[in-house]
Chain A
Amino acid sequence: MDVLIQLGATLLNSIRDILPIMAVLIGFQLLVLRKPVPNPQRVIVGFFAVLFGITLFIQGLEMALFPLGEVMAAQLTNPDFIIQATGYTANQWQGYLWVYLFAAAIGFATTLAEPSLIAVATKAEQISAGGINALGLRLAVALGVSFGIALGTYRIVSGTELWMYIITGYLLVLIQTAFAPKLIIGLAYDSGGVTTSTVTVPLVAALGLGLASSVPGRSPLIDGFGLIAFASLFPIMAVLGYAQIAEWRSRTK
């Protein structure tokens, strides 16, 4: 019964989120374009599928994954666990080895489940007539997120400045852009923004907050931020790199 009540609340939230988008789409369709939508029944059915799909998805995440993620983040950053598992204390960056590994693993796994990335990868495969492989793209993005979040957790632990990492990252992206195949550039840039939505952000935010509140000298309010920035920067590098390697391989063949 509780589940149903929660589902209802989540559904209301989803409707509230979708309303402005619906208003814009319907408003422009009726007032500006003044053309009927082709296959209106299909579109309406599809819209309801999206609405209920997102509702179930978020409800499921909130029941299963987010609380578990919070518990795990707290356990992995617990000083007792750190000494026991690594032999280092909570003051030393080496003590957080399992945190870095968890960050990398969960970043990889949640990215593969990210609905908007699946959507963009599917679209890219369709329009490139198979030239871009959807799964390959998703794996590249997941690797990028994985590395980015692991580095981001190290940054929180070590207390180094966020902007140094991000600006270095941008410079690397600029250099890569100069050498990467033209075809992939737009998609690579897009994949940075796509990765961080429904699944990854809440889990990663829990990890960042957990870390920032347990590492001595960090403030959760200030140091807890920045992980999402890492998670949107590194996929760009990974996708550009993936395209570069694919091009080299096809050239040497």
Chain B
Amino acid sequence: MIRIKSGFLKQLFSSFIDLLPILVVVSIFQLLIIKQPFPDLANLITGIILVTLGLTLFMYGLELALFPIGDNMAYAFARKGSVFWLVTFAFALGFGTTIAEPALLAISLKAASIAAEGGVITNSQAAQDSYALGLRLTIAVSVGTAIIIGVLRILKGWSLQYLIIGGYLGIIIMTAFAPPEIIGIAYDSGGITTSTITVPLVTALGIGLASSIQGRNPVTDGFGLIALASLTPMIFVMLYGILI
């Protein structure tokens, strides 16, 4: 019990240290440069306490659940030896974690209103809703596809560089043809698809796979799933912009 407590306090302290730079930056700018008092000090302090506690709990659960789950499932799939099920799992994980992502919901609604303003779709609620839903599905499918490609890469030992270079070339070519309004959203969509829960799970999955397959190195082959998952949405969203 005492051991758990001291571990908890240590993690609490390290969470606070992680958050300290934000407090320093915000205080310096607010007090010295903008020269205004904090608008709501009580809320600020309560919020900081919650954030510190939240980060501590998250890090605790990360080591207890998210990393082991990703690891175990990777080993179990490697032992099972069925590429079909591994690929299905990869797609389900990518698609499932992305479709529910709140940041994605927000950005797709914004994209729909841009499209309506630009005259790409009719300016009705129904048209905007279906455009936003189409965009979300597109991005979720693209992340699912990315995880499939990434998992196959680990299995087959393909070089990550060539995949990424191919992806970049794809983005450059698509940029030339995509309607200008969609480009900003497309570029941003790459960054928002990877949430706080998805990242540790997917990272552990990749590293677990790379460590359980002979001839793969966890460091060089285990990473790269997140990179692919942030690359494909850009291509798919621009494609969506061209087709619609």
Q: Which residue of A lies closest to B228 (CB)?
A: A189
A24:B34 contact, CB within 8 angstroms? no
Interface of A is mostly: helix
B58:A71 contact, CB within 8 angstroms? no
Q: Given the known A-B contacts A72-B30, A85-B33, A190-B223, are A49 and B58 also in contact in the complex, defined by CB atoms under 8 Å?
A: yes
Q: Is B10 an interface residue (CB 8 A)?
A: no
- Given the complex of chains A and B, what is the CA–CA distance between A17 and B68 in angstroms? 20
CB distance from A232 to the nearest CB of B (A): 4
Q: Is A183 an interface residue (CB 8 A)?
A: yes
- Given the complex of chains A and B, what is the CA–CA distance between A118 and B183 in angstroms? 30
For the complex, count residues of B whose C-beta is within 8 A of A. 106
B230:A232 contact, CB within 8 angstroms? yes
Interface residues on A, range: 35 or more
**Residues of chain B in range 218-232 having any CB-CB distance to chain A below 8 Å:** 218-227, 229-230
Q: In the assembled complex, which residues on chain A have CB atoms less than 8 Å from the CB atom of B69?
A: 25, 37, 43
- Given the complex of chains A and B, what is the CA–CA distance between A201 and B144 in angstroms? 22
CB distance from B99 to the nearest CB of A (A): 7
- Which of A53, A109, A186 is in CB contact (< 8 Å) with B56? A53
Q: Which residue of B lies closest to A63 (CB)?
A: B47
Point out residues on A near B: beta carbons under 8 Å. 3, 13, 16-21, 23-25, 27-29, 32-33, 35, 37-39, 42-65, 67-69, 71-72, 75-76, 81, 85, 98, 102, 105-106, 108-110, 112-113, 115-116, 118-120, 123-124, 127-128, 131-132, 162-163, 166-167, 170, 173-174, 177, 182-183, 185-187, 189-190, 192-199, 201, 221-223, 225-229, 231-232
